[in-house]
Amino acid sequence: MFTGIITDVGEVRSIEKRGDTRIEIGTSYNTAEIELGASIACSGPCLTVVEKGEGWFAIEASAETLDRTMIGDWVIGSKVNTERALKLGEELGGHIVSGHVDGIARIVATKIEGDSKRFELEAPEELKSFIAEKGSVALEGVSLTVNEVSGNRFGVNIISHTQACTTFGEKSEGDCINLEIDMLARYVSRLLEKE
């Protein structure tokens, strides 16, 4: 489990395609404190650390992960929002994030609002009912509050701190990003399904 509060922006150092795709990510984390097998959210998806060294860790992405996320578009030098798994007793500053990406959202418009940047996004049609005004979403692993919703479009504001400390400072109209709907919305929807 994660909170959607990004603690480091890493950078892809290498990509090796084999049975699964092995990706090395440079990090400022103290990798001596990261156990092999640990989960790290990497721009949204929860991925398992399979190898590490000073200043880097490696993960493996399966074909399923590559098909359902934007990881398949990463190249050497791509910036990656990272968050280590939540530990009991730590502050929950965002919202409960599972690291299971539900779909890809597309940025359809951006505009400056004070020191913030407003993003209008388009969600996949099948996910629109899970996104609610003043609800939460995780975009690229970042916990965000939904400002407004219209059909399958929704808006979020990215404050200057978040722009500087995540990959959102580099995102622009036309970019596609990982979307995780709020876990509570997922379970409420399931409970309301008619059998």
What is the architecture, at CATH level 2, of domain 103-192? Beta Barrel (2.40)
Query: pLDDT at position 109, please?
Result: 98
Position 191 pLDDT exceeds 90: no
Distance of CA 62 to the CA centre of its chain: 17
Q: What is the mean pLDDT of the chain?
A: 94
Question: Quick one: average pLDDT of 84-101?
Answer: 86
pLDDT band at 85 (very low <50, low <70, confident <90, very high): very high
CA distance 111 to 108: 11
Alpha helix locations (H) across the chain? 63-68, 160-165, 183-192
Give Rg (Cα) of the chain. 16
Q: What is the CATH number of domain 8-84?
A: 2.40.30.20
Looking at 89-103, 127-141, 148-162, which range is the least confident one?
A: 89-103
CA distance 28 to 52: 12
Two domains, one topology: 8-84 and 103-192? yes
Measured CA distances, 71 to 36, 54, 78, 183 (Å) = 21, 23, 10, 22
Domain-by-domain residue ranges, the chain?
Answer: 8-84, 103-192
pLDDT band at 195 (very low <50, low <70, confident <90, very high): low
DSSP-derived secondary structure letter, 126: G
